[in-house]
Amino acid sequence: MKFIRNLTNEQKAAMIPHAEKWIERGWDTTPVDKAAWEKGARACYAYAGIPFPERVVWVPSPLVGALAAPIAAYLIALDRNLAQLAVGGAVGDAVRDAVDGAVGGAVHGAVGDAVGDAVGDAVRDAVRDAVRDAVDGAVGGAVHGAVDGAVGGAVGDAVDGAVGGAVRDAVGDAVGGAVGDAVGGAVGDAVRDAVRDAVGGAVASSLRSLWYYRLGGQWWTYWQAYNSYFRDVAGLELDPELWKRSYAYEQASTAGWWWPFRDFVMVSERPTELHLEQVGPTGWGSHRLHCETGPAIAWRDGFALYYWHGTRVPQDLIDGRWTSADILREANAEIRRCGIERMGWDRFVVDARLTPVGAPAPDPGNPGHHLVLYDVPEQLFDEPVRVLLATNGTVERDGTRRRFGLTVPANIRTPLDAAAWTYGLSSDDYARCQRRS
């Protein structure tokens, strides 16, 4: 094994293209090659020393998997413990039966440790900053974090609302079908009846703890991007068996989330839609979910998440069905702001009947257009503000000039003062402006 202390200029130049390749992989919305995925998953199980279960259940979205996988694991564990009526023990067995830690550790731990031992600190830091962080920011932070929060919230809602009454009402046929496929004929009628008729706190506990026992698939690619850089670009020489482990996990990460258990594996399909916007340089926070016309991310079963510039919002907000009254009733300040932006300040100030502050003033930085300052209802923002309605200084592609609103401190008294404040100028200085952009 040759220790790498420095990278060549060519290797350094290859960092960004290497990261971009992995980012595109994390954003992939094409159908999964299921045979290739299963080949990789089987190898990961083998490296972990665990027999691969012959029951692989594909589900259309991560929400279905997050509900169905814990329920199936609970049913199997309950069946094994029913004779002793050890319901609590069954849930404990189900938790211990998840093997994601063993699978991930057998691959990532072995390869990652070997890579770490074979490169110098400066090289590790450079590749981490340029490759791993770029991928994690564009994929892990932008997509996985959003899905994780949404699915976690949905699981909690299902537990609080539907699971206490009947599992079959939690999501519907998709969850029921996935559970049935996972447990197969291994679970007797007594267990099915017990769960159907009296779910209780045991299944709720299983759902809350087990949905998170999953591997991130295409969205957990940052450390694969990091390790594969040393393999494919830097030519790091390691035991070939270690690189085989790395390849295996890469194959098993070409789908969405997956839940590895001893009795079954449940795998989520990729999304069918994904829309992001870049808001910063490469690294954490470089991209965020955003779509003005539909879901920012969606799956084929209809599970979808709607985002406006990185903030999760209701579907009807994106659909343009919110009125000013809907905006004023919304409790979340971030979502209120999104609603106003989606509607447009020029329309909102009319619909919401905002009160002008002072008289409209000619805009010295944009001749022929006026500035108008409005009081904003207290419930719209977390702190008192006013809004300045102005006209864009540049012409849009269609030849029009967009009207937009800018929030300013509530103690600003005139439209001219407000416009000056947005540029960090005094009113006198702004009044002498010839043109603003």
Assigned domain for 280 exists: no
Do residues 151 and 220 both lie within one domain? yes
365 and 219 both lie in a single domain = no
Is 284 within the bounds of a domain? no
To the question of pTM greater than 0.75 for the whole model, the response is yes
Q: Do 182 and 75 lie in a common domain?
A: yes
| Closest of 255, 266, 95 to residue 182, by C-alpha | 266
| 158 and 27 assigned to the same domain | yes
Q: Are residues 64 and 188 in the same domain?
A: yes
Residue 208 falls within a domain, yes or no?
yes
Note whether 131 and 250 are same-domain residues. Answer: yes
Contact 291, 276 (CB under 8 A): no
Question: So what's the pLDDT on residue 191?
Answer: 53
Instruction: Look at residues 273, 308, 340 and tell me which one is the last residue of a structural domain.
Output: 273
Residue 268 near residue 59 (C-beta atoms within 8 A): yes
> Does 64 reside within a domain?
yes
Q: Is residue 288 part of a domain?
A: no
Q: How far is residue 336's CA from residue 313's CA, in Å, rounded to a whole number?
A: 9
Last residue of a domain, one of 273, 292, 317: 273
The total number of structural domains that make up the chain: 2
Angle between helices 62-81 and 87-97 (to 10 degrees): 130
Q: Is 424 left (phi over 0), alpha (psi -120 to 50) or beta?
A: left
**Same domain, yes or no: 154 and 230:** yes
Cα–Cα dist 126/5, whole Å = 11
Domain stop point among 273, 296, 314: 273
Q: Are residues 347 and 221 in the same domain?
A: no
In order of 152, 221, 342, 419, the CA distances from 314 in angstroms are 17, 29, 12, 32
**Per residue of the chain (437 residues), what is the pLDDT tens digit?**
578 989 999 999 999 999 999 999 999 999 999 999 999 999 999 999 999 998 999 999 998 888 888 888 877 777 766 544 445 555 555 555 678 788 888 887 788 888 888 999 999 899 999 998 999 999 998 999 999 988 887 777 666 554 434 344 434 567 767 877 777 655 555 555 555 544 445 566 667 777 888 899 999 988 899 999 999 999 999 988 999 999 999 999 999 999 998 889 999 999 999 999 998 887 778 899 999 999 999 999 889 999 999 999 999 999 999 999 899 888 887 898 899 989 988 888 888 888 899 889 998 878 888 899 998 877 677 778 888 988 877 765 555 667 778 889 999 999 999 989 988 988 888 888 766 65
Same domain, yes or no, for 363 and 220? Answer: no
CA distance 226 to 128: 7
Strand partners, 356: 374
For residue 85, the model assigns a pLDDT of: 47
**Host domain of residue 103:** 9-273
β partners of residue 373: 388
On whether residue 404 sits in a domain, the answer given is yes
Q: The tokens of 30 are what?
A: 């094409």
Residues 334 and 269 in one domain: no
Q: What HEC string does the chain produce? A: CCCECCCCHHHHHCHHHHHHHHHHHHCCCCCCCHHHHHHHHHHHHHHHCCCCCCCEEEECCHHHHHHHHHHHHHHHHHHHHHHHCCHHHHHHHHHHHECHHHHHHHHHHHHHHHHHHHECHHHHHHHHHHHHHHHHHHHHHHHHHHHHHHHHHHHHHHHHHHHCCCHHHCCCHHHHHHHHHHHCCCCCHHHHHHHHHCCHHHHHHHHHHHCCCCECHHHCCHHHHHHHHHHHHCCCCCCHHHHHHHHHHHHCCCCCCEEEECCCEEEECCCCEECEEECCCCCCCCEEECCCCCCCEECCCCCEECEECCEECCHHHHCCCCCHHHHHHCCCHHHHHHHHHHHCHHHHHHHCCCCECCCCEECCCCCCCEEEEEECCHHHCCCCEEEEEEECCCCCCCCCCCEEEEEEECCCCCHHHHHHHHHCCCHHHHHCCCCCC
Place of tokens 């008289």: 359
Is residue 286, in this structure, part of any structural domain at all? no
Domain co-membership, 342 together with 421: yes
The answer to whether the CB of 431 falls within 8 A of the CB of 416 is yes
In a domain, residue 31? The reply is: yes
Together in a domain, 233 and 359 = no
